[in-house]
Amino acid sequence: MRTQIESLTAKPREQTTVAEPLELISGTALADLSTTESSTERPPEPAAEQIRAKIQGLFSRARGEVFADGMDSVFSRGLKHFIDRFGSKALDEIALLIIKETAEPEVAEEALRWIGYLEDSTTHRYRRWILSKALSCSSVRVRDGALLGISFMDDPSAADDLRAAMKRERIPELRYEMGRVLEQLEAQRCPNT
- Average pLDDT on 83-100 reads 96
Summarize pLDDT for 147-179 with one digit per residue, the tens. Answer: 999 999 999 999 999 999 999 999 999 999 999
DSSP readout, 76-139?
HHHHHHHHHHHTHHHHHHHHHHHHTT-S-HHHHHHHHHHHHH---TTTHHHHHHHHHHHTTSS-
Summarize pLDDT for 40-81 with one digit per residue, the tens. Answer: 566 667 788 999 999 999 999 999 898 988 788 999 999 999
Q: Report whether pLDDT(7) > 50.
A: no
Does the domain at 46-189 match CATH 2.60.40? Answer given as no
pLDDT band for position 190 (cuts 50, 70, 90): confident
Give the pLDDT of residue 48. 87
pTM of the model: 0.77
Give the pLDDT of residue 145. 97
Give the pLDDT of residue 18. 29
| Among the listed residues 144, 158, 161, 147, the one whose alpha carbon sits nearest the alpha carbon of residue 188 | 158
* Alpha-helix residue ranges (DSSP H) falling in 135-171: 140-153, 159-168
Summarize pLDDT for 106-160 with one digit per residue, the tens. Answer: 999 999 999 999 999 999 999 999 999 999 999 999 999 999 999 999 999 999 9
Give the pLDDT of residue 64. 86
Give the pLDDT of residue 161. 97
Long-range CB pairs of 156-162 (<8 Å, 24+ gap) are 156/185, 156/186, 156/188, 156/189, 157/128, 158/128, 158/131, 158/132, 158/185, 159/185, 159/186, 159/189, 161/132, 161/135, 162/132, 162/135
